[in-house]
Amino acid sequence: MARVVDGDGFAVSLWAATAPAGPELPALEGAIEADVAIVGAGFSGLSTALHLAEAAPGLAIALLEAEEPGFGASGRNNGQVIPTLTRPDPDDLVARLGPERGERFVALVRDSAAFTFALIRRLAIACDAVQAGWIQPAHSPERFERVSRRRFEQWARRGAEVELLEPKRLAERLGSAAWCGGWAARTGGHLNPLAFARGLARAVVARGIRLFARSPVTGLERQGGRWRLETPRGRVEARRVLLATAAYSGPATGALARSFVPFRPWMLASEPLGDNVRRTVVPGGEAVSDTRADLRFLRWTADGRLVSGGALALPLAERARLERRVGAVLGEAFPPLRGLRFDFAWSGAIALTPDRHPHLLRLGPELYAWIGCNGRGVALAIALGPHLAALLAGEDERALPLPLEAPAPVPLSGLAAALGRLALPYYRWLDSRP
């Protein structure tokens, strides 16, 4: 079977070079039956499968992955474990979802990083998990007053372990005066995401779930009250299906593939740096991502590299241009990083929704998906797992932390995907304003 061509992606990442091997997995051959089929073995599919197997041990679960576990965004991201969404704040979520469900979803997001690290400890997954906290520095004094204070206040009111960092305190925490104060969530941190995905895959297999690699679902049809999923050499018949394909959703996923805009940022991993630099640049080892729409972010790895990245409006000589740009940004913010060299560069796809909210979708009878990580889905995908599992176990959907919605196609989604990156200059203009 032809493998997905993904030259700047999965195989060339730092994570692919450093994560322990995943479990040996078969491709699907022939026809099988299952109670539940899950498509996509990223954090969403793996966490859902794991929690479903634990909650309903007798259930027959098949998990189908086009390539290998972690092949999508889950194995390529920056590894920041962040207990907030990108844009909507707690009060926005409550305004949209109503007081009861809204507060339940806010609590899920608040606890998502702690839940993720607890899962890693419970399953003893070796993935360089560091729960040192997550910091969001503000890129202007106005954003500190307007954004950081608001977020800190809204999360503190809901019992989150957060702190407000006045400019002087933030500069000490970062080892840089390039930002203007910020706030931090103590339960956040970072990890090697591919090592985590592979560890989850091992745990899933150990619980008796049939996990197939190199088995892309090419067709999905309803027949006789059940779903039939076709792969190049096999077929699954299942009562309930979850599409956990996120930004990698293709034509076989129907309306799901038109319900988001894919966005492809790059990750850059530096050469290993000495302890002298490590002691001065974010010495506490927190994960950092700032308030810009054209995000600036960084985190350390276990072997002393900084992993940062970004995106460019024009897809020309991206790696070289991005290395110059990110190198200059980091060198300006942290003088010890001037002249930084990068050993690894790779990209991956994120699913953006027009309203920047995550959505839980009903795509047909007993056919579900969630979409819209909007760049912040490590902890969220893991924490949604038990709730998606409850849905697939047939529990009352009123208990879900998000309502089940019909998919809303993004107008001209193909064009938006092609042109989405052209919005970057506009984002930079927004970032330059108070």
Ligand X SMILES: Cc1cc2nc3c(=O)[nH]c(=O)nc-3n(C[C@H](O)[C@H](O)[C@H](O)COP(=O)(O)OP(=O)(O)OC[C@H]3O[C@@H](n4cnc5c(N)ncnc54)[C@H](O)[C@@H]3O)c2cc1C
> Is 389 a binder of ligand X (CB under 6 A)?
no
Judged by CB, which is closer to ligand X: 70, or 102? 70
For residues 199-238, which are near ligand X according to CB under 6 A? Answer: 216-217
Kindly identify the residues of this chain, within the stretch 309-368, that bind ligand X according to CB under 6 A.
Answer: 348-350
Q: What is the distance of C-alpha 72 from the center of its chain?
A: 10
Residue 80 is a binding residue for ligand X (CB under 6 A): yes
DSSP 162: E
As given in the structure block, the two tokens for residue 338 are: 């001037």
Q: How far is the CB of 168 from ligand X (least distance, A)?
A: 27
* Cβ 343 vs Cβ 305: under 8 Å: yes
Name residue 147's beta-bridge partners.
Answer: none
Between 180 and 349, name the residue whose CB sits nearer to ligand X: 349
Minimum Å gap between C-beta 99 and ligand X is 26
Question: Which of these, 251, 249, 298, lies nearest to 278 by C-alpha position?
Answer: 298
C-alpha distances out from residue 390 to 37, 256, 337, 375, 387, Å: 14, 21, 47, 25, 5
Q: Does 308 bind ligand X (CB under 6 A)?
A: no
Taking CB under 6 A as the rule, does residue 407 contact ligand X?
no
Interface residue with ligand X, options 373, 383, 388, 392 (CB under 6 A):
373
- Rule CB under 6 A: say whether 119 interacts with ligand X: no
Rounded-to-integer distance, Cα 415 and Cα 269, Å = 31
How many residues belong to the site for ligand X (CB under 6 A)?
43
Among 232, 250, 254, 304, binds ligand X (CB under 6 A): 250
* Distance of alpha carbon 98 from the chain centroid: 25
Annotate 341-374 with b (16+ C-beta within 10 A) or e (fewer): ebebbbbbbbbbbeeebbbbbbbeebbbbbbbbb
Provide the β-strand partners of residue 270: 342
Is 377 an interacting residue with respect to ligand X (CB under 6 A)? yes
Q: To which residue do tokens 């799901």 refer?
A: 256
Applying CB under 6 A, which part among 118-126, 142-150, 376-384, 402-410 lies near ligand X? 376-384
Q: Does 265 bind ligand X (CB under 6 A)?
A: yes
Which parts of 9-68 interact with ligand X (CB under 6 A)?
39-45, 64-67
Interface residues with ligand X (CB under 6 A)? Answer: 39-45, 64-67, 71-74, 76-80, 82, 216-217, 244-250, 252, 265, 267, 348-350, 373, 375-379, 381
